[in-house]
Chain A
Amino acid sequence: MRSTEHAPQMAHNNPARFDITLRAARVAFNGADIFHDLDLTLQAGSFTCLLGPSGVGKSTLLRYFAGLVEGDVSGTITCSDKAPLKDRVAYMAQQDLLLPWRSVLENVVLGAVLRNEKPDYEKASHLLTEVGLSDAANLRPAELSGGMKQRAALARTLMEDRPVVLMDEPFSALDPLNRLRLQELAARMLRGKTVLLVTHDPLEALRLGDRVHVLSGSPARLQDAITPKGQSPRNIADPDILAQQAELLGQLGADASEGAA
């Protein structure tokens, strides 16, 4: 169950070497725009966090990048290397989305199974060791704690080995201690990849993000990014981080009072 430090190269197999640019994105549900004219650039290998109140459209924006939004949608996503983004993203949701009838190991290799490829069980076992689940490989998800399930989901995400990782509040259902541990693990293992993380926790955003955007209003607009200093995972007791947290809360709070007016 202990996380080991060998094979640190694992996460660097497929680093991102291209920027992703979103232009004039618009998504509407039932005739009302969630957002329109939205531009966002995800720089190669950077960790971008998206903060905002519930229901503002953070998840929708993330799902837009994943190609999961259907219906009344427009806008363009371009990659600086001219290749399409499709098939180069891995997706991790708030729910672990582990299949209850497959063992942890079989869940980690799910992507290959669904694409009819030969699953690399050796690599999957390696990743499970890295996330501290080597002893749980043959258990079913129902036998895991919440933190272990999210670790398994992280291993499944890393197994896909895509240059871009989209994460939708992956740690929000965890207790504080498990959340900190998983943030650390994710920061270490996702280094080199382009990451977009949706969260409602300003500290999580500042701990992990190279750029932190607040999404607010209706239709939602992106505010200018806050860029915390130093390498992630950052120390949440750092005074600079705490000052930036106050700034983020201000951006979020100012929004709340506008909504009330």
Chain B
Amino acid sequence: MTDQNNPHTNKKSLSERRWLILARPLIIIVALIATWQVLVIVTGAPKYMLPPPADVWHTLLARHAVLLDHAQYTIAETVIGLFAGAALGTLAAIPMALFSTVRFWLMPILLVSQAIPFFALAPLLVLWLGFGLASKIAMAALIIFFPVTVAFFDGLSRTETGWLDLARTMGASRWRLLTHIRLPAALPAFASGFRVATAVAPIGAVIGEWVGSSHGLGYLMLHANARVQIDMVFACLLILCAFSITQYFIVDRVLRAALPWQPDSLKPVR
């Protein structure tokens, strides 16, 4: 409280945060590349096992047209899968929170869906949905669905009881109670689930591409690996990492901006 009322500390911590948000990834990237270079020197591993950073950089530049072409597919699969999975998770969480019957029937099915290893599911999805985008989107959506559902359901079932009491004495309708209290109150929990989903979404798409596809970074990696073009594999991995991080930061930013009232001890109020 006292911290929030002090505009001076706010300003300072905010600009400090901005600076760190930009600088931190750079510092981490430089440190990781340095570690990688040290590993190459210390182990003396041959280029076809562990290519040095400079070789991978060269491949990134030389083959950027091919890489970007395939990256488009993976990015599209991931982003569409993310929204599809989040939409399905929302659709599952709301009735589960509202009706105990739905909860009792759906919860075991949800758990079973998570007990099946995704690698085992991928060939089936490719068989059913084909070599194209659909099977990869389905794969990403399946991975995303669970964290979003669980987080959102959790948020919906933990509405502050005082608000529910107040709403009852005010004669709130069930629908209005949901749309004006329970849903907004659960949005921070949904946001947590969505952040986790954002981080894991590319995994689904890449697994789908490994199992059967003719496009995408997963496909490119598999082929490069078979031809011992390890620098190409690394280049694909780097693009995947860059995309994942960018996607995560965009999502995080949007979620924070959308929920400015969200209690967050790390973030100043204004």
Contact = CB atoms under 8 A, between A and B. Distances in A.
Interface string B146-188: 0000000000000010110111111111001100110011010
Contacts of B263: 100, 142
A91 B176 contact: no
A142 B269 contact: yes
A66 B173 contact: no
Interface in A95-143: 95, 97, 99-101, 110-111, 113-116, 140, 142-143
Contacts of B176: 113-116
Interface string A60-97: 00010011100000000000000000010111010101
A142 B261 contact: yes
Interface residues of B, number: 26
A114 B162 contact: no
Interface in B181-236: 181, 184-185, 187
A97 B165 CA distance: 10
A160 interface: yes
Interface residues of A, number: 25
Given A100-B263, A101-B184, A142-B261, A116 B173 contact: yes
B161 to A, nearest CB: 10
A59 to B, nearest CB: 11
A66 B162 CA distance: 13
Contacts of B4: 142
A110 B170 contact: yes
A113 B181 CA distance: 11
Contacts of B171: 87, 111, 114-115
B169 A113 contact: no
Given A100-B261, A100-B263, A143-B269, A66 B165 contact: yes
Interface in A224-256: none
Contacts of A142: 4, 261, 263, 269
A114 B168 CA distance: 9
Nearest to A112: B170
A157 to B, nearest CB: 10
Contacts, number: 65
Nearest to A141: B261
A228 B124 CA distance: 80
A97 B163 CA distance: 6
Contacts of B160: 97
Contact of A99 (B163, B165, B168, B170): B163
A160 B168 CA distance: 13
B170 A114 contact: yes
A95 B168 CA distance: 16
Interface centre among B4, B181, B259, by most chain A C-beta atoms within 10 angstroms, is B181
Given A142-B261, A142-B269, A115 B169 contact: no
Contact of B170 (A101, A115, A140, A143): A115
B267 to A, nearest CB: 11
B65 to A, nearest CB: 47
A114 B180 contact: yes
Contacts of B165: 63, 66, 68, 91, 93
Interface string A32-50: 0000000000000000000
A113 B166 CA distance: 13
Nearest to A101: B261
Nearest to A113: B180
A107 B172 CA distance: 14
Contacts of A89: 169
A111 to B, nearest CB: 4
B162 A140 contact: no
A101 B185 CA distance: 8
B169 A68 contact: yes
A129 B21 CA distance: 42
A114 B184 contact: no
Contacts of A99: 163, 181, 184-185
8 closest Cβ pairs, A-B complex: A114-B172, A91-B169, A111-B170, A100-B261, A101-B261, A97-B162, A114-B176, A97-B166
30 contacts: A67-B168, A67-B169, A68-B165, A87-B171, A89-B169, A91-B165, A91-B169, A93-B162, A93-B166, A97-B166, A99-B181, A99-B184, A99-B185, A100-B261, A101-B184, A101-B261, A110-B180, A111-B171, A113-B180, A114-B170, A114-B171, A114-B180, A114-B181, A115-B170, A115-B173, A115-B176, A116-B173, A140-B260, A142-B269, A160-B170
Given A110-B180, A115-B170, 5 more contacts: A97-B163, A99-B163, A99-B185, A114-B176, A142-B4
